[in-house]
Amino acid sequence: MKAYDTVIGLEVHAQLLTRTKIFCGCSTRSGLPPNTNTCPVCTGMPGVLPVLNRKVVDFGIMLGLATGCRIAPRCIFARKNYFYPDLPKGYQITQYEHPLCEGGTIRIETGQGVKRIGITRIHMEEDAGKTIHDEKAPYSYVDYNRAGVPLLEIVSEPEITSTDEAVAYLRELRQILMYLGICDGNMEEGSLRCDANVSVKPAGSSRYGTRTELKNMNSFRNVQKALEYEIERHIGIRESGHEVVQETLLWDPSRGVTVSMRSKEESHDYRYFPEPDLVPVEIGEAWIDGLRSGLPELPFARRKRFSGQYGLPAYDAGVLTQTKALADYYEEGVRLLDRPKEISNWIMTEVMRILNEKGIPITGLNVSPAMLTGLIALIGGGSISGSMAKDVFAEMAATGDSAESIVERRGIGQISDETELLSLAREIIDAHPDEARRYRSGKAGLLGFFVGKLMKATRGEANPKLASKIMKELLEG
Ligand code: ADP
Ligand code: MG
Ligand code: ZN
């Protein structure tokens, strides 16, 4: 029996793939020289007015629909006031009392089946700039290129009860964002950022413990490790008779510890008030319906359909639907050749190996679904062996040539010529008289030994069925 229950709630920031910023026409591109991608609006000059980018509302509604949220009829922004050099206006434009979306769910797979985690709210806001600290200089720099880049903040209910569930929730949310094409999901580069609130309470108790908030975890692995560390820290504090202090901590990945950053501020510290520079936007049914009809099939549904329609194990369905492009690739393959499990096996092994080696997405692969199914058809037709096919596949990926042309160029059809195999088989039996005697006196398992020798002598090019038949006949005849 565990002595404590864990309670986790996640606040995720997703940077949106709009072309321009949320309230001005500056580009959202990253990697430009500092402060070259700014204008009077996103640097907070006096006398300028923000204009809302409609695409940001579109993307927010799309995520709200994908997670079953209610969409607000009017969208209203608020000012969150605080002072920090990366915030040129002295306030962030965000949403407070009237978030764009509320009351949704994300379904995750757990050891005990599907679990629904509540989404409290999804709101739109602008990103801040970046401060850059140079240890050699007695001052810091600030780069406003990122100021005004649109974000969605997705807040979960405190319904996550383990670190595994937290990672599963985050993976699922990331996959939904990427299927929708509204965020690139890159955690290392900060386009998907996760803050985690965590507390522990005596097992079975209905009263929540004091929570701390963790920041700076830029990978799934770090989210997992930071939460595990923090849960142990909370339990340690309670066991020693002390109380957890509500505060914000930074995860230090190099030391593997959480470090106190600041005491937790309350929302009244921010003096939120409605943003007077932006008019409320009415979101009519037509706007919502238009976006709903354009939604793609979402990861959860697609996984379920893959298992059902193609008879795939849940594991295969999960791997094949990791990205929309990979799932599309698979389905195009199955449409061309009705061998769902074989195509799945090829994608999960050889195709994924090449993608990982080259660090490319499926869209960057030289081998089209038609070319892959062409190769699988050659194996089925008996013209090349399975092991040979792997070499052919590697060459296809390297050159972009079809399986047929590679097989022809390399002259690697299977040896199905009986006389050639017969003479090789005789030589092998003559070279292993002991094994041949033992086989004939009843050690039937040695057939594999002889067939293996024959396959090796032909460098794998013998037709395996024929090789086995010939060996058996010679040994027994
Ligand atoms: P804040 O305004 O400080 O961000 P919220 O009430 O918006 O606080 O909650 C932020 C996150 O903290 C939510 O994801 C919520 O689920 C989570 N949370 C709230 N209470 C707890 C708790 N006792 N333990 C763990 N997480 C919690
Ligand atoms: Mg918050
Ligand atoms: Zn700008």
* Protein residue with least CA distance to atom 11, ligand 1: 9
Beta carbon of 155 within 6 Å of any ligand 1 atom: yes
> CB of 274 within 8 A of CB of 289?
no
> What burial class does residue 29 get, using C-beta atoms within 10 Å of its C-beta: 0-12 exposed, 13-18 middle, 19+ buried?
exposed
- Could you tell me the two tokens for 268? 């009244």
Q: Closest ligand 1 atom, CA of 157?
A: 16
Delineate the domains of the chain, giving CATH numbers in brackets.
4-289 (no CATH), 299-410 (no CATH), 418-476 (1.10.10.410)
> CB of 407 within 8 A of CB of 455?
no
Beta carbon of 197 within 6 Å of any ligand 1 atom: yes
Beta carbon of 200 within 6 Å of any ligand 1 atom: no
Q: What is the DSSP string of 292-351?
A: HHTPPPPHHHHHHHHHHHH---HHHHHHHTSSHHHHHHHHHHHHHSS-HHHHHHHIIIII
Q: How far is the CA of 211 from the centre of ligand 2 (A)?
A: 13
Phi, psi for residue 373 in degrees, rounded to 5: -70, -30
User: Which residues lie below 8 Å from residue 426, measured CB to CB, with a gap of 6+?
Assistant: 474
What pLDDT, on a 0 to 100 scale, did the predictor assign at position 423?
87
Closest to 339 in 3D by CA, of 384, 378, 393, 286: 378
> CB of 182 within 8 A of CB of 59?
yes
Beta carbon of 44 within 6 Å of any ligand 1 atom: no
Site to probe by mutation for ligand 1, drawn from 7, 102, 193, 197 as the one with most ligand atoms within 8 Å of Cβ, is 197
3-state class (DSSP) for residue 235 = helix
> CB of 464 within 8 A of CB of 455?
yes
- Could you tell me the two tokens for 187? 């955690």
> CB of 314 within 8 A of CB of 307?
yes
CA distances from 108 to 167, 302, 428 (A): 10, 14, 57
Beta carbon of 273 within 6 Å of any ligand 1 atom: no
Separation of alpha carbons 392 and 377, rounded Å: 13
What pLDDT, on a 0 to 100 scale, did the predictor assign at position 404?
87
HSE (CB half, 13 Å, CA atoms) of 404? 6
pLDDT digit string (tens) for the chain, length 477 residues? 689 999 999 999 999 999 999 999 999 999 999 999 999 999 999 999 999 999 999 999 999 999 999 999 998 999 999 999 999 999 999 999 999 999 999 999 998 999 999 999 999 999 999 999 988 999 999 999 999 999 999 999 999 999 999 999 999 999 999 999 999 999 999 999 999 999 999 999 999 999 999 998 999 999 999 999 999 999 999 999 999 999 999 999 999 999 998 776 677 789 999 999 999 999 999 999 999 999 999 999 999 999 999 999 999 999 999 999 999 999 999 999 999 999 999 999 999 999 999 999 999 999 999 999 999 998 877 677 778 899 999 999 999 999 988 988 877 766 666 777 888 899 999 999 999 999 999 998 899 999 999 888 887 777 778 888 899 999 987
Beta carbon of 178 within 6 Å of any ligand 1 atom: no
Closest to 299 in 3D by CA, of 266, 323, 275: 323
> CB of 152 within 8 A of CB of 60?
yes
- Could you tell me the two tokens for 130? 């970046």
**Protein residues near ligand 3, an ion, with CB under 5 A:** 24, 26, 39, 41-42
Give the N- to C-terminal CA distance of the chain in Å, as an integer. 67
Beta carbon of 383 within 6 Å of any ligand 1 atom: no
* Protein residue with least CA distance to atom 19, ligand 1: 158
The dihedral of CA 355, 326, 181, 68: what is its sign? negative
User: Which residues lie below 8 Å from residue 174, measured CB to CB, with a gap of 6+?
Assistant: 183, 185, 187, 192
Phi, psi for residue 285 in degrees, rounded to 5: -60, -35
Beta carbon of 269 within 6 Å of any ligand 1 atom: no
Separation of alpha carbons 207 and 200, rounded Å: 10
**CA of residue 461 relative to chain centroid, distance:** 40
Q: How far is the CA of 213 from the centre of ligand 1 (A)?
A: 8
Closest to 6 in 3D by CA, of 159, 116, 154: 159
Beta carbon of 102 within 6 Å of any ligand 1 atom: no
What pLDDT, on a 0 to 100 scale, did the predictor assign at position 269?
85
Closest to 201 in 3D by CA, of 460, 2, 415: 2
- For residue 373, give the amino acid letter: T
- Could you tell me the two tokens for 295? 């939604």
What pLDDT, on a 0 to 100 scale, did the predictor assign at position 74?
95
**CA of residue 443 relative to chain centroid, distance:** 51
Q: How far is the CA of 197 from the centre of ligand 1 (A)?
A: 6
> CB of 320 within 8 A of CB of 347?
yes
What pLDDT, on a 0 to 100 scale, did the predictor assign at position 386?
79
Question: Is the pTM for the entire model greater than 0.95?
Answer: no
